[in-house]
Amino acid sequence: MVRLVLVLGDQLTPAVAALKAADRARDLVVMAEVADEASYVPHHPKKIALFFAAMRKFAGRLRDDGWQVAYTRLDDPDTAGSIPGELLRHAARTGATEVIATEPGEWRLIRRLSDLPLDVTLLEDDRFVASHAEFRNWASGRKQLRMEWFYREMRRKTGLLMQGDKPVGGQWNFDHDNRKPAPGDLFRGAPLWTPPDDAVSEVLDLVEARFPANFGALRPFGFATDAAGAERVFAHFLTTALPFFGDYQDAMLADDPFLYHALISGYLNLGLLDPLDVCRRAEAEWAAGRAPLNAVEGFIRQIIGWREFVRGVYFLEGPDYTARNALGHDRDLPPLYWGAPTRMACLSHAVAQTRDTAYAHHIQRLMVTGNFALLAGIDPRAVHEWYLSVYWDAVEWVEAPNTLGMSQFADGGVVGSKPYVSSGAYIDRMSDYCRGCAYDVKAKTGPGACPFNLLYWHFLDRHRTRFEGNPRMAQMYRTWDRMDPARQAAVLAGATAFLDRLDAGEAV
């Protein structure tokens, strides 16, 4: 009898587990654009368009390869409106009782598939270097999970940048050579954009009509929507940007949102690029002498290190991960995250860029929007839903540990050993934002003081019990304790006044 083979919007490769286990001669592939998935958070219109366009093209490719595909469009009059609903509808129509699916990257969907009154086989998603069992084994018995140790295991497992059992260059990690601020006149050729073809334009019209109120600019749309297009973007990155990737990885420039970043996270997450393949090809650039080791090691670490590590954490920690709030933060997400005016130039740039491109690089996410939310004590659940909504690459398995763990410390220290907080000095060092700001980054108190300078100490002071014993934070507390009490009082009063203005809905 026919079996239903579910392919979700981020499983767009013939190498996905469900397709490998299925039989194209008898099984029916089910793919569905559904209102449920398109609206469980208010996704950026570019993100919705990317998923729908890439799904349509992948369905075409499967048909060309001889598969039977039942593809539901968002405006299909018969749609059940949800993934489980679509499976039930096709089961009733075909008499199928069995479903083969690749485990979704969100607990929400895993639960819904597991609850279906059909015989559902959920296969592990093997598009990753580490399986669930490998990560669990690595994690078991460790007091703290640290990416760096896990990363070394992944280097050994893949053989990437290894000479026998030793790392090439004699070091595992070349981060001390990286993290340079970008000079203002830094020039990088533009990233490669892919103009919409007719199929993509049709999707853009649909998204425009159905999601008119979602935060974010739909056009211009320049994401690739198939594997060949994603491959062109990656090849362009290898030749134009990889050699400088490490040097300017943490830099931020108001006029250049992309710098030397790869812009491939969405393609990796949707299945249009293969993580191990991109790492091997970056390694080959180093081997051929076209890119330095610090750049290539840094790039590979992001993928087989951070990307694999956060996935391991998401599945190890379980479905309650997104409800965690270790620091008890409960402030509403301020409207500035949705584009309301702010006098803080760094936030204004990061949010405007997010609205226009559905992209921000790691340091903008971590040290601007994330840092501010953490210092201001915003409810981590609201912060999580914002990140899940606004970025083109956001799927919960990768977004939640980055947001709730690395950025908001809401998991109490599973992902990071200390919170990523900084005063304005860090943003000033790594960016050119401050010179165009209404606030003074050098001022530590008074009405013009940079809010990061005030909130940084307010955060440390209000969470003293939790953090003062943390050896990685001892220096921060020593600096605070050496500060003159009158100055401490002025900083805390300034921070409180700022938070009051934020709560009152003022444009801070």
Residues forming the site for ligand DLZ (CB under 6 A): 8-10, 32-34, 37-38, 43, 48, 51, 83, 104-106, 109, 395
Cβ proximity to ligand SF4, 84 vs 424, nearer residue: 424
Candidate segments 130-138, 297-305, 411-419, 495-503, binder of ligand FAD by CB under 6 A: 297-305
Cβ proximity to ligand DLZ, 76 vs 231, nearer residue: 76
Under rule CB under 6 A, residue 434 binds ligand SF4: yes
Under rule CB under 6 A, residue 451 binds ligand SF4: yes
Which amino acid, residue 53?
Answer: A
The residues, any chain, with a CB within 8 Å of residue 311's CB and separated by 6 or more, are: 128, 130, 135, 397, 398, 401
Out of ligand SF4, ligand FAD, ligand DLZ, none, which partner does residue 10 contact, by CB within 5 to 8 A per kind?
Answer: ligand DLZ
Candidate segments 158-166, 167-175, 303-311, 471-479, binder of ligand FAD by CB under 6 A: 303-311
Under rule CB under 6 A, residue 367 binds ligand SF4: no
**Which helix (H) or strand (E) segment is 167 a member of?**
strand 166-167
Q: Which residue among 452, 457, 459, 498 contacts ligand SF4 (CB under 6 A)? A: 452
| C-alpha–C-alpha distance, residues 175 and 38, integer Å | 38
Q: Which residue among 200, 268, 345, 476 contacts ligand SF4 (CB under 6 A)? A: 345
Under rule CB under 6 A, residue 46 binds ligand FAD: no
Under DSSP, is residue 256 helix (H, G, I), strand (E, B) or coil?
A: strand
CB of 112 to ligand FAD, least distance (A): 21
Q: Which residue among 16, 99, 254, 346 contacts ligand SF4 (CB under 6 A)? A: 346
Under rule CB under 6 A, residue 378 binds ligand FAD: no
Under rule CB under 6 A, residue 381 binds ligand FAD: no
Out of ligand FAD, ligand DLZ, ligand SF4, none, which partner does residue 48 contact, by CB within 5 to 8 A per kind?
Answer: ligand DLZ
The per-residue DSSP string of 81-127 comes to SSHHHHHHHHHHHH---EEEEEPPSSHHHHHHHHTSSSEEEEE----
Cβ proximity to ligand SF4, 160 vs 345, nearer residue: 345
| C-alpha–C-alpha distance, residues 305 and 354, integer Å | 25
CB of 378 to ligand DLZ, least distance (A): 23
For ligand SF4, how many residues bind (rule: CB under 6 A)? 14
Cβ proximity to ligand DLZ, 50 vs 421, nearer residue: 50
Phi, psi angles (nearest 5°) of residue 256? -135, 90
Contacts 24+ apart (CB under 8 A), 500-504: 502/331, 502/334, 502/376, 503/331, 503/332
Lookup: tokens for 480: 């605070």
396 neighbors 314 (Cβ within 8 angstroms):
yes
Contacts 24+ apart (CB under 8 A), 431-436: 431/181, 431/251, 431/252, 431/253, 431/254, 431/346, 432/182, 432/184, 432/252, 432/253, 432/254, 433/252, 433/254, 433/345, 433/346, 433/349, 434/345, 434/346, 436/254, 436/345
Out of ligand SF4, ligand FAD, ligand DLZ, none, which partner does residue 407 contact, by CB within 5 to 8 A per kind?
Answer: ligand FAD
| C-alpha–C-alpha distance, residues 7 and 87, integer Å | 11
5 neighbors 17 (Cβ within 8 angstroms):
no
181 neighbors 172 (Cβ within 8 angstroms):
no
Radius of gyration of the chain (CA): 23
| C-alpha–C-alpha distance, residues 300 and 422, integer Å | 26
Q: Which residue among 427, 430, 455, 502 contacts ligand SF4 (CB under 6 A)? A: 427
43 neighbors 35 (Cβ within 8 angstroms):
no
Lookup: tokens for 75: 């405006």
The residues, any chain, with a CB within 8 Å of residue 382's CB and separated by 6 or more, are: 332, 333
Out of ligand SF4, ligand DLZ, ligand FAD, none, which partner does residue 327 contact, by CB within 5 to 8 A per kind?
Answer: none
Strand-pair partners of 32: 72
Q: Which residue among 43, 56, 89, 365 contacts ligand FAD (CB under 6 A)? A: 365
Q: Which residue among 44, 47, 56, 261 contacts ligand FAD (CB under 6 A)? A: 261
CB of 480 to ligand FAD, least distance (A): 25
Under rule CB under 6 A, residue 387 binds ligand FAD: yes
Under rule CB under 6 A, residue 437 binds ligand SF4: yes
Under rule CB under 6 A, residue 240 binds ligand FAD: no
Which stretches of the chain bind ligand FAD, using CB under 6 A? 261-265, 268-269, 299, 302-303, 306-307, 310, 361-362, 365-366, 370, 387, 391, 393-394, 398-399, 402-403, 406-407
Which stretches of the chain bind ligand SF4, using CB under 6 A? 344-346, 424, 427-428, 433-434, 437, 439, 441, 450-452
